[in-house]
């Protein structure tokens, strides 16, 4: 089916970014926006904006039927879900299939296969990808016996969770019974699925993920890895590619494992396979994200591939236009996520009116943002303001460009985590490369005062 008009069922920077590619491709754009976003940058850029409901996500961006109705009424041939919201809800993919609307993403069955973390684990094992020791548990007794085998520390994870949500860390077995009960009830409320499983926690690990594209008929290519180890409470803050200091052979094995996993699903579209790499350079499958990811620009600047354009081409029936041999990676790229969060107040979200926004420019700098002076940051949605991406032939130059980019960024009216990024970019361990996922917690424990002192612009 030829796609001529795309309904974008998202907001913020990713809606803005999707509109940009649609325009470059000559596609009309219809933005499905909540009442709180009718004045936003993507609403101004889209050919048409349709108000889908009030600000609260449950009344607008999360309403599957309303989104499909908006696409039918527009009428749009395709829906791009972005990330978050409905992007990994099989109900939307399925309703699109039923109404002959192209869903720019994987099939509903593929979304389901990776949304169930136990099924995804089993699929990984089936193609000989190591998983962390763990198992599903349906009672406290079962949990205790599984936990004795795994050992502590361990994680209680929601089967329907993912993306850092629905996890509890257990240091001692005595904490387990209470944690299981709480995790199950929270998972039931948050994901509509109360099942939980246990998994060994690797404390000193790096989070490495691999970008893939699949044609939906069994052919999959990979576009290299991203190191997303700079996280705070499982939320990524800085991503880079290539993963610094990771042995070439290990990288190669990660790439191959990601392709194998996606091939098994006959995956369609853009997706990411996430792994943990421990201190002994052993790697384990974590999960697959069946959507475009926040940090996709890191891969785009390194490979020169417009991932959103490829998503649209695959969804529109053009298939996978690239071969593995077409993918050439050049240089190093780093991305910093600028959030409306106040580092001085435990990174509390800081909604409000942006009175000034200055974003960096210069060689190798890309900024994906929807924020300018006068923009509102509503309290209902995530706090991402901008992604600053620095690209250079080598990591040292990329770091220097990022350092200058952060220094020349300024946002007033809302607090931002820019001081946090400035702090990390001055940190010897980060500059040396290859920090693990504990890095941010340790840094903030040691240096919280420095972040506080530097806060707010």
Partner 1 sequence: MTLTAREVAEITRLLEESIFDELHLEIDGLKLHLRRGSPAPPQMVDDSAAAGVSAQVTPIVPDDAGPAEKPIVREGDLQDVPAPMLGTFYRAPKPGEPPFVEVGAPVEADTIIGIIEVMKLMNTVRAGVRGIVAEIPARDGALVEYGETLLRVRRASEP
Q: For binding to partner 1 (CB under 8 A), which residues are involved?
A: 35-36, 39, 50-56, 60, 65-66, 68-70, 72-74, 95, 351-353, 374, 376, 378-380
User: Residue for token digits 């998983």?
Assistant: 131
**Distance separating alpha carbons of residues 415 and 89, to the nearest angstrom:** 32
Q: Say if residue 362 is exposed, middle or buried (CB neighbours under 10 Å; 0-12, 13-18, 19+).
A: exposed
Specify the DSSP element, H or E, that contains 405: helix 395-407
Q: Is the dihedral of CA 44, 45, 50, 51 positive or negative?
A: negative
CB of 72 to partner 1, least distance (A): 8
**Distance separating alpha carbons of residues 290 and 61, to the nearest angstrom:** 18
CB of 352 to partner 1, least distance (A): 7
CB of 33 to partner 1, least distance (A): 10
**Distance separating alpha carbons of residues 457 and 450, to the nearest angstrom:** 15
**Between 59 and 116, whose beta carbon lies closer to partner 1?**
59
**Between 64 and 140, whose beta carbon lies closer to partner 1?**
64
Alpha helices, DSSP H, located in 209-355: 248-264, 296-303, 307-315
Specify the DSSP element, H or E, that contains 94: helix 90-98
**Between 51 and 142, whose beta carbon lies closer to partner 1?**
51
**Distance separating alpha carbons of residues 240 and 297, to the nearest angstrom:** 10
CB of 2 to partner 1, least distance (A): 22
Three-state DSSP at 411 gives strand
**Between 383 and 437, whose beta carbon lies closer to partner 1?**
383
CB of 29 to partner 1, least distance (A): 16
291 catalytic? Reply is: yes
Q: Kindly name the residue from 200, 226, 291, 366 that is annotated as catalytic.
A: 291
**Distance separating alpha carbons of residues 386 and 235, to the nearest angstrom:** 15
Tokens of 34: 């909540």
**Between 133 and 378, whose beta carbon lies closer to partner 1?**
378
Tokens of 300: 């785009």
**Between 349 and 378, whose beta carbon lies closer to partner 1?**
378
Give the CA angle between residues 38, 78, 389 to the nearest 5°: 65
CB of 59 to partner 1, least distance (A): 9
Contact at 8 Å (CB) between 71 and 98?
A: no
Alpha helices, DSSP H, located in 99-175: 108-115, 117-126, 140-150
CB of 374 to partner 1, least distance (A): 5
**Between 356 and 394, whose beta carbon lies closer to partner 1?**
356
**Between 66 and 412, whose beta carbon lies closer to partner 1?**
66
Q: Which of 49, 82, 50 is nearest to 66 (CA)?
A: 50
CB of 411 to partner 1, least distance (A): 17
**Distance separating alpha carbons of residues 414 and 184, to the nearest angstrom:** 36
Three-state DSSP at 76 gives coil
Contact at 8 Å (CB) between 365 and 404?
A: no
The neighbour count for residue 99, using CB atoms within 10 Å, is 11
CB of 70 to partner 1, least distance (A): 6
**Between 130 and 352, whose beta carbon lies closer to partner 1?**
352
Query: Under 8 Å CB-to-CB from 78, ≥6 apart: which residues?
Result: 3, 5, 6, 7, 71, 101, 102, 103, 104, 312, 315, 316
Omega of the bond leading into 159 within 30 degrees of 0 (cis): no
**Which residues does the annotation mark as catalytic?**
291
């Amino acid at each position: 089916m030829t796609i001529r008009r795309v309904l974008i069922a998202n907001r913020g920077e990713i809606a803005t970014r999707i509109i940009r590619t649609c325009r470059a491709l000559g596609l009309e754009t219809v933005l499905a926006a909540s009442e709180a976003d009718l004045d936003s940058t993507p609403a101004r850029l889209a050919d048409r904006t349709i108000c889908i409901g009030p600000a609260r996500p449950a009344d607008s961006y999360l309403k599957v039927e309303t989104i499909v109705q908006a696409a039918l009424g527009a009428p749009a041939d395709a829906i791009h879900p972005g990330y978050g919201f409905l992007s990994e809800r099989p109900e939307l993919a399925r309703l699109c299939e039923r109404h002959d609307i192209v869903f720019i993403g994987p099939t509903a069955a593929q979304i389901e296969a990776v949304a169930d973390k136990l099924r995804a684990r089993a699929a990984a094992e089936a193609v000989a990808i190591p998983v962390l020791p763990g198992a599903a548990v349906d009672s406290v007794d079962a949990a205790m016996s599984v936990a004795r085998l795994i050992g502590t520390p361990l994680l209680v994870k929601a089967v329907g969770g993912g993306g850092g949500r629905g996890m509890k860390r257990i240091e001692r077995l005595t904490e387990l019974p209470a944690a299981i009960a709480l995790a199950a009830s929270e998972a039931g409320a948050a994901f509509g699925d109360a099942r939980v499983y246990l998994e060994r926690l690797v404390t000193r690990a790096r989070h490495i993920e691999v970008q893939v594209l699949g044609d939906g008929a069994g052919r999959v290519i990979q576009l290299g890895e991203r190191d997303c180890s700079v996280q705070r409470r499982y939320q990524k803050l800085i991503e880079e590619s290539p993963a610094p200091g990771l042995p070439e052979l290990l990288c190669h094995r990660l790439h191959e494992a990601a392709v194998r996993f996606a091939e098994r699903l006959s995956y369609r579209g853009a997706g990411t396979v996430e792994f943990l790499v421990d201190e002994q350079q052993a790697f384990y499958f974590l999960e697959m994200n069946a959507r475009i990811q926040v940090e996709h620009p890191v891969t785009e600047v390194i490979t020169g591939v417009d991932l959103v354009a490829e998503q649209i081409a695959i969804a529109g029936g053009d298939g996978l236009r690239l071969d593995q041999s077409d993918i050439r990676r050049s240089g190093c790229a780093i991305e910093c996520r600028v959030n409306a969060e106040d580092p001085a107040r435990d990174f509390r979200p800081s909604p409000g009116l942006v009175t000034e926004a200055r974003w960096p420019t210069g060689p190798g700098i890309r900024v994906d943002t929807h924020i300018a002076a006068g923009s509102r940051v509503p309290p209902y949605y995530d706090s991402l303001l901008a992604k600053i991406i620095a690209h250079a032939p080598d990591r040292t130059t990329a770091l220097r460009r990022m350092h200058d980019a952060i220094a020349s960024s300024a946002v007033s009216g809302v607090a931002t985590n820019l001081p946090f990024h400035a702090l990390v970019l001055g940190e010897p361990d980060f500059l040396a490369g290859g920090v693990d996922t504990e890095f941010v917690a340790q840094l903030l424990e040691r240096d919280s005062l420095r972040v506080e002192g530097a806060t707010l612009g």
